[in-house]
A = this chain, B = another copy of it.
Amino acid sequence: MTGLKTMLNPKVTAVVGVSTSNPFSPGNVIFRKLAFENGLPTYPINPKGGTVEGVAVHKSITAAPDDIELVVISVPAKYVPGVLTECGEKNIKSVIVVSGGFSEVGESGASIQSEIVEVASKYEISMVGPNCIGVFVPDVLDTFFLPSERVARPRKGNVAIISQSGGWLIERLEEFAGRDVGIAAAISIGNAAQTKVTDFVEYFGRENQVDVILAYIEGFAQGEGRQFVEVCKKIVPKKPVIVLKGGESEAGHRATQSHTSSLAGDHAVTNAAFNQYGIIHALDEDEVMAYAKVFSFKPKFMQGPRVGTLTVSGGHGVIASDEASQYGLLMPLFNKEQQASMRAAMTPAYQGIASFRNPCDLTGSASDIDYERVLDKMLEFKNIDAALLLLLPYAPGISLQIGARVANVAKRHNKTVVAYVPNLEKYEVIIRGFELNGIAVGDTIEEAVQMLNGIQIRSKYLKRIGAA
C-alpha cells in the first residue's frame, strides 16, 4: 500500500492535461491548487509545451523530471493508457485518473478501463479512478477539479471519507465544514477500477490520526463484498466504520447502473454482515452526519440502552421519547427517591413546576445552575447508561455559558452524554462550549438521538466480541 501512502502525502506532483489556452480546464484548476494552494512542487504536462501560470510546461511524463511521486491525469480516456505506461516506466507508484469516458459510458469505455487496470497492475501503480474527482487531504493536497469558491473544505480532523460518488462527497465536505467536523482525508474513488473502497478502509484502519472511517458505497463486484467485511472485521474493534449504501431499492439499484456500473453482487451477504461485524449501517444522510460526528468525539461506551433526558421544554421531551423508542433506546421511569433528589437540587421557586419522571422537564424557568445540578444527580443513577440534554436556549434563564458549564459536569462521570442545541449562529458559543469540552451536539433532537444510537450499536458489538 505504499502507493496510497505517497498519494495522500506526495513530495512532488504532476498534472497531465493542463491547457495553455483555457485557464478553467479541469487540469488547470487542479494544477493551480496543487502548485499554489497546497504549495507542492508540481509539473504541468501538455504535448504542446509552452507555459501555464508562468510555469514551463513539460511535453510528457517521460520528458519531465524524475522526482514525481503523484500524477493526476485529466486527458480524454483514449490517451490515458499511454500516459499511465509512461508513469510506470518512470517508476511512479501513485496516479489519480479524473478523466471520464470509461465503464460508465458503455462497452468501448469499459475496454479502455480494462486496459488501464492492466497497465497499473503491470507497473504496480496504485491508481484511483477513473471518473473521480480525486482526493483531498486538509493542509496537504487537493486534487478536486472544482474551484475552491464553489465547495467549502472542512478543517483537518479525524474522519476519513471514501465515496463512490463525487457529488455525494462534495456535499459531505460542505456539510462537514458547516458543522465544524474535521476530516483526515476525502477520497473520490470513481469507477474503482483498481483501487477499491476496501483498500482505503484497510489503509485508514492503520493510520493513527484516523478515528472514524465513513464510506458511501453503491455496490461491489463479485466477491468484493466479502473482502470488504473481512477487512472491516479487523478494523472495527479499533475504530468505527460507517457505511451508507446507495442503490438498496430497486429503482436506486437501477440508477447505480447508469452511474458507477456497480454490480448487485453480494448485497444481501454484505447487509447481513454489517450487523455481524459491527459495521455501522447509516440509512440516510442525516444518520451519516450523526454517526460521523459523534464518533469523531471518541465518545464513552454505553453499558446498555437506558437514557436519562433533561429538557427545558415538555414538547421536546415528548418528541425525544418517541424518537428514542424508534431506535430501541429506553428512558426508564425514575423512582420517587431519584425524583426527590433531583427536585431538591433545583432552585426552590421552580421545584414545584419541574417534573422528574424522565424525561426530566426543568421548564422554561430553569437556569444554568439548575441544569448543572440536576444533571450531576442524574448521571449518578445506576439505571441509566447515557444522558441526552435538550437545550433550548430561548429560555430566559439559560446563558451562553451553559454548554461549557454542563460539559464540565459531565466530565466528572463515566457516562456518555450528547446534547441538542438548534444550529443557529447566535448559539455558537453554547455549541462550542459543549464541543470543545468533548460533548457532541446534534442540530435536531433526532440527530442527538441518532448519535446515542450509533454509540449503542458500537458498544453492543464491542461487548459481544469481548473487546469492551
> Which residues of A does B touch, CB under 8 Å?
24, 100-101, 104-105, 146-147, 150-152, 163-171, 174, 178, 216, 218, 246-252, 254-260, 284-286, 311-326, 330-331, 333, 352-353, 355, 357, 359, 361, 363-364, 392-394, 396, 422, 424, 444-446
Contact = CB atoms under 8 A, between A and B. Distances in A.
Contacts of A259: 314-315, 317-318, 355, 361
Contact of A101 (B174, B353, B355): B353
B147 A322 contact: no
Contacts of A392: 167, 170-171
A150 to B, nearest CB: 5
Given A312-B167, A324-B251, A357 B258 contact: yes
Contacts of A355: 258-259
Contacts of A150: 393-394, 396
Contacts of A100: 353, 363
A424 B242 CA distance: 26
B174 A422 contact: yes
A193 to B, nearest CB: 16
A330 B361 contact: no
Contacts of A152: 424
A168 B254 contact: no
Contacts of A146: 394, 396
Contacts of A312: 167
Contacts of A317: 255, 258-259
A322 B286 CA distance: 14
